[in-house]
């Protein structure tokens, strides 16, 4: 009796690359297909690209928050003064 072996039965590790299976809803797969940059782009490449975009946005948001925090005292000095309060009632 011969037992059939399938490649999908094994996980191959090549360098840092390991094949895994993740479950996605069909709508998620369709969304991923829509945002592919080119037809033969793998889902792995696409997900890595999306992760890089998210990391960049987070860094930018952290920088924006940092700028906002360091500017708050100066903006408070500029905007919270008696001269401006007089103009509010005009």
Confidence at 84, pLDDT banded by 50, 70, 90: low
Share of the chain above pLDDT 70, in %: 70
- Provide the pLDDT for residue 35: 93
Give the tokens for residue 68. 């906002």
**Which of 56, 64, 72 minimizes the C-alpha distance to 48?**
56
> Quick check: 15 pLDDT over 60?
no
> Quick check: 12 pLDDT over 50?
no
C-alpha 53/C-alpha 47 separation (Å) is: 10
Give the tokens for residue 31. 């969304």
Radius of gyration of the chain (CA): 27
Q: Which residues contact 43 (CB under 8 A, 6 or more apart)?
A: 32
Q: Which of 25-29, 65-69, 78-82 has the lowest mean pLDDT?
A: 78-82
- Provide the pLDDT for residue 11: 46
- pLDDT digits over 27-47, tens only? 999 999 999 999 999 999 999
Contact criterion met (CB below 8 Å) for 18 and 12: yes
């Amino acid at each position: 009796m011969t037992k059939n072996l399938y490649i999908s039965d094994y996980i191959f590790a090549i360098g840092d690359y390991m094949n895994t299976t993740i479950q996605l809803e069909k709508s998620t797969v369709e969304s991923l297909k829509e945002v592919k940059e080119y037809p033969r782009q793998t889902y792995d490449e696409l997900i890595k690209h999306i992760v890089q975009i998210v990391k960049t946005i987070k860094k930018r948001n952290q920088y924006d928050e940092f700028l906002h925090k360091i500017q708050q005292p100066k903006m408070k000095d500029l905007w919270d003064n008696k001269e401006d309060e007089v103009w509010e009632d005009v």
